[in-house]
Amino acid sequence: MKLHLQIWRQADARSTGRFVTYEADDVSPDESFLEMLDGVNEKLILKGEEPIAFDHDCREGICGTCGVVINGRPHGPRPATTTCQLHMRSFQDGQTIVIEPWRARAFPVVRDLVVDRGAFDRIISAGGFVSVSTGSAPDANALPVAKEDAELAMDAAACIGCGACVAVCPNASAMLFTAAKITHLGLLPQGQPERERRALGMVARMDEEGFGHCTNHGECEFACPKEIGVGTIARLNRDFLRAALMRGRRPGQGSEGGAG
């Protein structure tokens, strides 16, 4: 395959970026998208030019680092597929492919296609965990969990923190990501003691990081490579509303940022 690539190049967050055109020859339809970029970089390095910076780690669809916008769609044209799991057979010979980084104020460009997704880590730090005493493993079935709850919690736990939901949202909202974490923990018995603080803390942090508000566009659900549904956002809203009301009834309760 021969492909015409238009790739965003940007030295850092303060520099002005621009699209640069590259030609990729001899691309195998069986290569992954990242292997195709590796090939472009090998040629750039041989020519003494700066390679294109892009993020990746597992290349198995589980770490969430590899997202780029491909022809206007986060992670490219295939549903439920991360950039690293996308293969070049999803494109046509001779096609032009436009590749750009996630665009969101809360995800500043580090270089070229790499953005800083540290804002997600800080949302997790604000409540996306359970505090447990460690020790010997508890007996199996010591904490019974209804099958339906276990299934829904596992579905939500599939979120890999890639940021595609933010990239696709016209408001650059992080609601789907935050809702996935709140749903995952809120459905399990271990998540109950910190449930109120979790909802208040994570939503407050999401706002502080500069993500936009959810206005129910629903694009996030379709861009998500792990098929996290917008039903999780309804759970987040319920938890947040209940926590805000409870806090109103109990003035003097700890601040939302102090979860954990």
Q: Which stretch binds ligand FES (CB under 6 A): 61-69, 148-156, 194-202, 229-237?
A: 61-69
Residues in the chain: 260
Look up residue 85 and give its two tokens. Answer: 């799991």
Q: Which stretch binds ligand FES (CB under 6 A): 42-50, 81-89, 201-209, 216-224?
A: 81-89
Strand partners, 13: none
Rounded to the nearest whole angstrom, what is the least distance from the CB of residue 80 to ligand FES in the complex?
12
Cα gap 133→119, rounded to integer Å:
27
Q: Which stretch binds ligand FES (CB under 6 A): 57-65, 97-105, 173-181, 206-214?
A: 57-65
Closer to ligand FES at the Cβ: 10 or 82? Answer: 82
Considering CB distances under 5 to 8 angstroms, the limit depending on partner class, which of ligand FES, ligand SF4, none binds residue 163?
Answer: ligand SF4
Q: What is the DSSP string of 163-223?
A: -HHHHH-TT-B-HHHHHHHHHHHHTSGGGSTTHHHHHHHHHHHHHHTT-B---S--HHHHH
Considering CB distances under 5 to 8 angstroms, the limit depending on partner class, which of ligand SF4, ligand FES, none binds residue 128?
Answer: none
Closer to ligand FES at the Cβ: 86 or 200? Answer: 86
Which burial class, exposed, middle or buried, applies to 250 when counting CB atoms under 10 A from its CB (0-12, 13-18, 19+)?
A: exposed
Interaction with ligand SF4 in 157-196: which residues (CB under 6 A)? 159-165, 176-177, 180
The residues, any chain, with a CB within 8 Å of residue 158's CB and separated by 6 or more, are 180, 226, 227, 228
Please compute Rg for the chain using Cα positions. Answer: 21
Closer to ligand SF4 at the Cβ: 27 or 224? Answer: 224
**Is residue 62 at the binding interface for ligand FES, with CB under 6 A as the rule?**
yes
Residue count, binding to ligand FES (CB under 6 A):
14
φ, ψ (nearest 5 deg) of residue 205:
-65, -40
Closer to ligand FES at the Cβ: 164 or 204? Answer: 164
3-state secondary structure of 45: helix
Tell me which residue of 184, 176, 258 sits closest to 213, measured CA to CA: 176
Considering CB distances under 5 to 8 angstroms, the limit depending on partner class, which of ligand SF4, ligand FES, none binds residue 78?
Answer: none
Pairing of strands 3-9, 18-24: antiparallel
Interaction with ligand SF4 in 194-223: which residues (CB under 6 A)? 223
Closer to ligand FES at the Cβ: 164 or 199? Answer: 164
Site string for ligand FES, 157-176 (x = CB under 6 A): ---x----------------
Strand partners, 96: 4
Pairing of strands 96-100, 3-9: parallel
Considering CB distances under 5 to 8 angstroms, the limit depending on partner class, which of ligand SF4, ligand FES, none binds residue 161?
Answer: ligand SF4
Interface residue list for ligand FES (CB under 6 A): 56-59, 61-66, 82-84, 160
Interface residue list for ligand SF4 (CB under 6 A): 159-165, 176-177, 180, 223-226, 228
